[in-house]
Amino acid sequence: MRDETGAAVQTLEACIRGAGDWSGFWADKDGPIAKAWATSRRQMFVSQGRSTGTPWPDYTKQERKYYVPVKKAVTGLPQVTKAHLLRWDGTGPEPSAKERLFPAMSQTSHREFIYRVAGNEATMGTSVPYARKHNLGIGVYNRRWRTKKGVKVIAVPTPKRPLLEFGRPFTNSVRDELKAVAIKSGGKVGITSQELRDRAKIARRVRGL
């Protein structure tokens, strides 16, 4: 799994003893793994990160002061709550017409949804430019307004709200698909969900992430 810059952020290592053909496992955007990933991202947005085990922090004091009022004015929402984190004018499992990041990660047909397969490696994510800032908690939102002395700018730091954690729903789906492919190939599943999580942690440490 990689971000839009190509820098590794997580590595999914899946082992099937006796199953040599991986094409049926990774498949394409219409395959079970891509769909499982999209579904897990939808769960992540609706639960504000809780489904992946990395709950997103609520709006910070600066966000509430300088960003939330703008969001309310633009969307026309009477109230902006934690349910609107990284969402635009919706909070449900289906994106609104004005949203970009949510559908770009939860709809396999979206033009900015990424799912590429090369050999035994699959790259999943989105090409939305600002997604990486939210995932890593880098960059700022610049709130500008005019005063008598000119233009005033307040830089509001972007909190870290992870977008690429596996989460139990996704790891369970991967394990189920591994089992199905292994059975078809006459092999045995050689990985558990806990091993999958542990290997992902090791991969991140090796890469200094």
The structure tokens 């189920």 sit at: 176
Cα 34 off chain centre by: 13
In a domain, 2, yes or no: no
pLDDT digits 0-9 by tens, 112-129: 999 988 777 788 999 999
In a domain, 11, yes or no: no
In a domain, 1, yes or no: no
In a domain, 7, yes or no: no
In a domain, 4, yes or no: no
In a domain, 138, yes or no: yes
Length of the chain, in residues: 209
Query: Which CA distances in Å does 87 have to 44, 101, 174?
Result: 12, 8, 27
In a domain, 3, yes or no: no
Residue 43, pLDDT score: 96
| Residues spanned by the domain of 133 | 16-206
Number of separate domains in the chain: 1
In a domain, 10, yes or no: no
Q: Spell out, as residue ranges, where the chain has pLDDT lower than 50.
A: 1-19, 202-209
